Structure 1
C-alpha cells in the first residue's frame, strides 16, 4: 500500500495498522480491507479479484463492477490486474464524523451468471486535524479576593479525529499564579480550569497573559493554543455556583416542541446585584443546539424548540453558563448531557437491482432473478428487518448478507399456464408497533418451444363433387400452438405419398400459412372415389415441433357419363340390326333385347328404356321393358302389320339432368315357315325369363320406393338438426357426423371396370345388373 508520509513514525504506524487490519474473514464470506484516509489517488487497497477467487480473464466478459450505496466513486478496480485502488480523496471525518468505526460497504457484482460479493473497506483515521479552540483568546475576570485553590473554568479545544489522534493533553506556560487543573468525566470529555496558586493583587498585577496549549496523541502530534487574558478585579468576589456539575437527561426522539427538558439551579453568595444570576448557553455550543433548545435566562429552564431525530444525532452535550450581575460579572459552568432515545418512526426501505428479466420458462431452480437490499434507519429491534413474499409464488427469498436478499426461482415455470407474476416483497421491522414497506417486481416469463401444434381432431371427412374447377378450395385445416410468438407460428405442408402411379401433390396442395387445401385438378369419381392423405403442421421454434392430421376426401358422383350401348357381339343391339320375327308369335314374345351401361353410380347409373314416340307407328305391336330393355310383342301379329318394323329405343339415366342414348332395332316379319327353327324354343325361354323379370321388377320397384322414402326422411331430420344447431359448417371439425351413403340406389345395369384403384388400395367391385340396397354410414370422429 501507499501512504502519505508525515514523518517516519507516522508512516510506520500506518503501515503496521494496515497490515494488521487488512484480512479476509472466511467464516462470514466477506473480504475486508483497510485504507488510511487522505490516501493519494491510485493507492493500493487489495487484490480483490484474487481474494474473491476470480480469474482476471473473466472480469470484463462477466461485467465485473463495484458499487457503493452512497460513495461509489471513492474506490475503483483495475480490470486488467484485479487491484482495488483509491480513486478520489477519502475524508474520514466527512464520512463518519466522530464515530469510532468507519467503513465503506461495497457490492461486487458479476453478471452472466449473476454473482454478488460483499467487501468492507475500513477507513483508518490519521492525525490530520489539530486541536482547535473556539476563539483565539479567552478573557477571564478574577477578583483579587479569591482564595488560593479557587478554580476558574477555561474552554477546551476540540479535535475532529478519533481515538488516540483525538486524545488531547493540555499545558500552561510557566507562571507564578496559576496551574492547570484537568478533570476527566466518564464520557471522555475533559473540564479545564485554572487553579489559583498565589494570591492576586490588582495593584501589583492587574492583568495576566497566559498561553494554553493543546496537543493531540497522534504521531506526529499536532497542537493548538489560545491566549488567556486574565483581568484581576477587586469587587464581587463570589461567583455563582451550580448545584451539580453534570446533568443527565433522556428524551424520546418524538418529544414534542415546548417540552421542559431540565431546570438548572445555581446560587451566588453575594448579595444584591452581585448575587443576581443570568443563565445562558456557553459560547462553545453548536448552532444545532441553539436551534433545538432554549434556556430561560432568569429561571434556568431549558425547553425543546426543535425536532429530535435519533438517526441524525444520538447525543447532545450542552454547556450552560451562570453569570451574576456584579461588576465585573462572575460566572460558573455546568454540562447537560441529553441522550436521545430511539422510537420506531422509520419504515424499512427497499432497493431492487440487477433484475434478470424476463425469465425463461425452462430456467433451472435456484436461478437468481433480482437482488433486494433493505435498510432501516432505526436501531435495535426497531431496525431489524425481515422480508417475505406474497403467497402462492414460485419464488423464494434467500439471505445472502446482512439485509441483502436474492429473489430466486423455487419451482418450475409454465408460461402457457401463467405468463407473468406480480411479486410483492414486504419488509417488516421488529418495532412495536411494527412498520413495513412493500416493493413490487413484475416477473415476465419468456416462452420456450415446448408445445407442438395440435389439431382439434385427428381426422376430418371432406366431400367434394367431381369435375371441380382446378385450384378450388376444398377444406381448411387449423392447428393451434400454446406457445407464443415464433414458437406459435404454424406452417402447413402435405405429407407426400403415392396415389397409384401419381404423386399426392399432383392432386391437392395446402397453403403453408392459412392451411387451405386446394384441389389442383378436376377430380373424377369414376377414377378416384376416396383420397386419403395427411397434412403436417410445424411451428417455427428451435427445434421445431409438429403433428399430423388425416383428411378423407370423398369424391361425390355427378351425372357426367351418358349411357353406353353394349356392342352387338354381346347379344344386344348396339346400332341398327335386323331380326326375323315370325308372324305366328303371340303376345308377350321377346323378340330382341337392348343392353347399355353407365359409368356413373347411384341414381346417375340407373337406366330405363322406352320407345321413342312414333317408333313403329301408332299401332306398333311391340314394346320395350322399362328396366330390362327387352323388346316383346304386345299382341299377335297379322297381315296388316308392315313387313319391316323400325324401332327407336331411348336409354336414359336418372341423373339431373338426365343423359340419353338411342338404339335402332330393325324387325322383319316373316311367315312361320321362314323363321329359324330354334326360334320357338328361344321365344319360350325368353317369355319365361320375361315373366320372371317382371315379377322381380315389381319387388325391386317397391324396395326402391321404400329406400327413397327413408332417404328423404333422413335428409329432413338432418336439416332440422342443422337448423337447431346454427353456425356449424358441414365440413367443420365441430360439425355433427355426416351420413355417408355408399350408394343412394343401385344400378340396373352393369358398370364398366374402374380405371384406377381407390386411395385405400382396393379395387371397386363391378356393378351387377340388380339394384343394390342403399348402405348408409354415419362418420363419427373418434
Structure 2
C-alpha cells in the first residue's frame, strides 16, 4: 500500500463446549498527513477471511477511540483513512499515538483488535512564545548567575520535537540545557564573564531551537540584555590641575573658575554635585563658595594680597548613588597684588616676658571624625579624605605624620597642603564584603615632630553597606511531595524556603512560578510570594497526570533583583474516585433458540480509570439464567455465552443486569442492563385441533360447496408458524379423494362431485398441515367422512290428511 505499515498478527482461539469465539490483533503504522482515502491495510487478507463473506457477516468497526478517522470497506476488507490525519490534533504531546479499533464479524462471532499507530512527520518548526525577550541584569551579577528562559514548543513528538538550543556568539554568556522529561528541554542563560555597563550597555543575543528532523527545523528568539547600572565609578575631573590668578581687588560675586567632573555611571549614579572638601576651613568658606550644580567657584568676600597671596581649596565631586562616590580636586587661586596700601609702621610691645624655656607646640585641640560609612561596591584605590588634626604649635612641632592601626583593607596616605598642614586620606586596598565583615573599627594617630613627639588619636568606625551581590539560596536541594488527587482547592502541597545573605531589601526573598511554568500548571498551582507555600488552585486528577514538575523562582527585592530557580516534584496519588465502566458490544438483535451451549452472545469490556488495586475490576450477573461470562485473552474483556439450550416458546427474552465492581476501599461499582432476545427456529410442527376428524355429508350435494374444515396451529412465530394444508395423496389409488379438495390457506374442504349414498357410504383420507419454516415441519390427521342418505318419500294419512314422509338413513 506504499505505506510504512507493520502488521503483526496474534491469533488466540478460545474453544467453547459447542461454540467458539475468535480474537486476533493486528497492528499497522501509517504516517500522519495521509490523503483522504489512503489505504491503511487489508484487514480481511491479513486475518485470512474470505472477502466474499464480509457483507453477509456484518464486517464492521464496533468500537474505537477514533472511528471517524477510518472506514472499513465490506467489499475488499481494506481499512481506509477518512480525511487528513494530523497527529498533533489526535495525540497532543503523546509519545506514542495509538488508535484502537475493534472489528467484529458474525456467524460465527469473531472479534479483532486493530491498532493503528500514527507516525509523526516533521511538519512543525520549533516556536518560542515570544519573538523577543528582554532581560535586565545588573552589572554586579557574579559569574555563574543563571537566568532560565522560556522553552520553545514543537507540536511534533519524539526526535522531531525540540532537541537542542544554540546561542549566538558572545563574550559574556553561555547556554545550559536542562531536560525536564515531559516538559521538554529548557534553555538556561548563564553569565560566565562579568558585565560592565560602561563598556557595553546592551547585548543582543539570538537563541535558536532545533528539532531532530532530517533536515532539522528551527525557530529563534532575540534576547536583549539591558545591563543595569550599579554605582561602580567615581566622578573624574576633566582637568588634572586647576590654577587661577585673581586680582586682590576682584569684586564679590566674581566667578573665579568652573570645575567639571564626569561619572560613567547613569541615572542618579552618574549625576555629579560639587561641594567643599572636608578640610576646607571656616576662613576659606567665608571667602569662597561653590555652586553645587555647575561647579562654579564664586568670590564671596574681599581679598587682600597683603594678608594672603595664595589659596588652595579642596573641591569635592560626588555622585548621587545610594552609596555615593566622591573625588577631591585641589584648586589653587593665586592673588595678584595691586597698589592699594600705603606703607605703615606697626609697633607691638609685650607686657609679659616669655620664659626662654617655654616649649612650643602645646596641643590645644584635636578635631576628629568618629564615623565613616562605605559601600562593598567600592573598588580598591578608592580614597576617603579625613579631617586633619590641628596642633597650635608651629614648625616641626606641628602635625607631621599619621599612623593607622593594622588592617588588611585600608592604608593611610598623607597629603601636604603647605600652610594648611598635612591632611590624611584613607585608601581602600582590598575589596569589602559585608557578608564577611559588617563593620570594622580603626584607630588613626596624629603625631607631631616634637622630641618626644606628642600624639592624638581618632576612632574610625566603618559600616560596610550592603549591595545586592548574593542570590537567594534554597535550603533544600530537592523538593518532592505526594498529594492525593482529591486534594481540595487551597491545600498547601509543600513549602519552599530560600535565604539571602544580603540585608534589607536585598535580603528579602519573594517567591513566584518560574517563567517556563505553562498556563495549565498555573491553573492548578500557585505559590504564596511571602511564605513560599505551594497551593492547589485547581482540580487534580491522577487519571490525567500523575506527576508535575514545577519551576519555583526565589527573587530578592534589590534594585536589580537576583533570582534562583528550584524544581519541585509533586506526585499525585490515586484514590478510588472512578467507578468501573461497562461497554457491551452486541452482535445480533437476537440469538437463535437452537444455539448450542457456549455460543457467544455479546462481548463485554470493563474498564476503570483508576490504577493498581483501585483499577482492578470484576464483572458478574445473576446465576439463575442460562448464560455465563467467559474471560478472554484481552484483559478486562469477557464473552457472554450460553450455558444450556434455549427455548423461545418458554422464555423469549432475558433482561440481564451486569455489575462491575473494583477492588478499591470502599469499592465502587456500576451496573448495565442488556436485553437478549431469543429468536425463533422452526422446532415445532403444526398441531391439529382434533384427531381424528369426523364429518357427515348429505348425498346429492352441489359440486364446489364447502363441506367442512380442519384447523392446525404452530407454536413458532413468523414464517415458522404459517400453516398450509393439503390432502395426502401417497400414490395409492384412493378414488374417493377425487371427490374433494382443500383450501391450502384455511383448511376448508369442498366437494368436487356430488356424493351418492348408494355408491359411497363412508370413506377416509389424510390431511397434511405444513409450516413455512426452513426446513418445514408437518403433521397429518385422519378425516372420516359419512354420506347421509335421503330416501324416497312415502305417503301416509293422518286424520284424513295425506302427509309426505321422509326417512333419514345413515
Q: TM-score range by the shorter chain?
A: 0.5 to 0.7
Range with bigger deviation, 468-477 or 357-366:
468-477
1:256 and 2:488 aligned = yes
Quote the Cα distance in structure 2 between the aligned partners of 1:41 and 1:452.
Answer: 55
Aligned ranges 1:291-690 → 2 under 5 Å: 291-353=523-585, 355-364=587-596, 367-398=599-630, 399=632, 401-455=634-688, 458-459=691-692, 478-490=711-723, 503=736, 531=762, 533=764, 536=767, 538-542=769-773, 543-550=775-782
Partner of 1:232: 228
Quote the Cα distance in structure 2 between the aligned partners of 1:477 and 1:449.
Answer: 22
Counterpart selection for 2:515 from 275, 283, 286? 283
Cα distance, 1:538 vs structure 2: 0.6
Cα distance, 1:47 vs structure 2: 4.4
Partner of 1:585: none
Cα distance, 1:554 vs structure 2: 8.0
Cα distance, 1:299 vs structure 2: 1.9
Structure 2 CA distance for partners of 1:53 and 1:467, relative to 1, 3 Å: closer
Cα distance, 1:117 vs structure 2: 2.2
Cα distance, 1:527 vs structure 2: 9.5
Contact 1:207/1:232 (<8 A) preserved: no
Structure 2 CA distance for partners of 1:276 and 1:481, relative to 1, 3 Å: same
Quote the Cα distance in structure 2 between the aligned partners of 1:321 and 1:387.
Answer: 50
Which has the larger share of helix?
1
Quote the Cα distance in structure 2 between the aligned partners of 1:403 and 1:497.
Answer: 61
TM-score for the superposition, normalised by structure 1 = 0.60
Contact 2:471/2:563 (<8 A) preserved: yes
SS at match of 2:67: coil
Partner of 1:108: 103
Cα distance, 1:347 vs structure 2: 2.6
Which has the larger share of strand?
2
Number of aligned pairs? 559
Kindly provide the CA deviation profile for residues 623-663 of structure 1, in whole angstroms up to 9, marking residues without a partner as x. xxxxxxxxxxxxxxxxxxxxxxxxxxx9xxxxxx9989xxx
Contact 1:479/1:537 (<8 A) preserved: no
Structure 2 CA distance for partners of 1:113 and 1:24, relative to 1, 3 Å: closer
Counterpart selection for 1:217 from 209, 212, 215? 212
1:124 and 2:124 aligned = no
Contact 1:129/1:160 (<8 A) preserved: yes
Cα distance, 1:308 vs structure 2: 1.6
SS at match of 2:130: coil
Quote the Cα distance in structure 2 between the aligned partners of 1:96 and 1:400.
Answer: 27
Cα distance, 1:281 vs structure 2: 2.0
SS at match of 2:101: strand
Quote the Cα distance in structure 2 between the aligned partners of 1:352 and 1:114.
Answer: 14
Quote the Cα distance in structure 2 between the aligned partners of 1:487 and 1:48.
Answer: 38
Cα distance, 1:514 vs structure 2: 6.2
Quote the Cα distance in structure 2 between the aligned partners of 1:473 and 1:68.
Answer: 61
SS at match of 1:149: coil
Partner of 2:350: none
Contact 2:686/2:771 (<8 A) preserved: no
Kindly provide the CA deviation profile for residues 170-219 of structure 1, in whole angstroms up to 9, marking residues without a partner as x. 33223222223445568786564443333332333333322233333332
SS at match of 1:442: strand
Quote the Cα distance in structure 2 between the aligned partners of 1:445 and 1:216.
Answer: 60
Q: CA RMSD in A?
A: 4.7
Contact 1:200/1:232 (<8 A) preserved: no
Kindly provide the CA deviation profile for residues 548-597 of structure 1, in whole angstroms up to 9, marking residues without a partner as x. 44566789999998699xxxxxxxxxxxxxxxxxxxxxxxxxxxxxxxxx
Quote the Cα distance in structure 1 between the aligned partners of 2:490 and 2:758.
Answer: 111
SS at match of 2:103: strand
Contact 1:310/1:340 (<8 A) preserved: yes
Cα distance, 1:448 vs structure 2: 2.8
Cα distance, 1:120 vs structure 2: 1.5
Cα distance, 1:488 vs structure 2: 3.0
Quote the Cα distance in structure 2 between the aligned partners of 1:151 and 1:101.
Answer: 34
SS at match of 1:51: helix
Cα distance, 1:254 vs structure 2: 1.8
Partner of 1:94: 89
Quote the Cα distance in structure 2 between the aligned partners of 1:22 and 1:209.
Answer: 53
Kindly provide the CA deviation profile for residues 721-774 of structure 1, in whole angstroms up to 9, marking residues without a partner as x. xxxxxxxxxxxxxxxxxxxxxxxxxxxxxx9xx99xx9xxxxxxxxxxxxxxxx
Structure 2 CA distance for partners of 1:157 and 1:554, relative to 1, 3 Å: closer
Structure 2 CA distance for partners of 1:228 and 1:563, relative to 1, 3 Å: closer
Cα distance, 1:280 vs structure 2: 2.2
SS at match of 1:431: coil
Quote the Cα distance in structure 2 between the aligned partners of 1:61 and 1:516.
Answer: 41
Structure 2 CA distance for partners of 1:390 and 1:56, relative to 1, 3 Å: same
Quote the Cα distance in structure 2 between the aligned partners of 1:40 and 1:460.
Answer: 75
Quote the Cα distance in structure 1 between the aligned partners of 2:489 and 2:741.
Answer: 89
Quote the Cα distance in structure 1 between the aligned partners of 2:757 and 2:488.
Answer: 101
Quote the Cα distance in structure 2 between the aligned partners of 1:461 and 1:267.
Answer: 116
Range with bigger deviation, 185-194 or 408-417:
185-194
SS at match of 1:211: strand
List gaps (5 residues or longer) in structure 2. Answer: 13-22, 231-466
1:178 and 2:173 aligned = yes
SS at match of 1:106: strand
Contact 1:453/1:537 (<8 A) preserved: no
Partner of 2:499: 267
Quote the Cα distance in structure 1 between the aligned partners of 2:473 and 2:485.
Answer: 31
Kindly provide the CA deviation profile for residues 495-553 of structure 1, in whole angstroms up to 9, marking residues without a partner as x. 6899x9973675x887766667899999999999x846356351432454443445667
Partner of 2:27: 32
Structure 2 CA distance for partners of 1:97 and 1:314, relative to 1, 3 Å: farther
Partner of 2:353: none
Contact 1:240/1:322 (<8 A) preserved: yes
Contact 1:134/1:284 (<8 A) preserved: no
Kindly provide the CA deviation profile for residues 697-716 of structure 1, in whole angstroms up to 9, marking residues without a partner as x. xxxxxxxxxxxxxxxxxxxx
Partner of 2:476: 244
Cα distance, 1:419 vs structure 2: 2.0
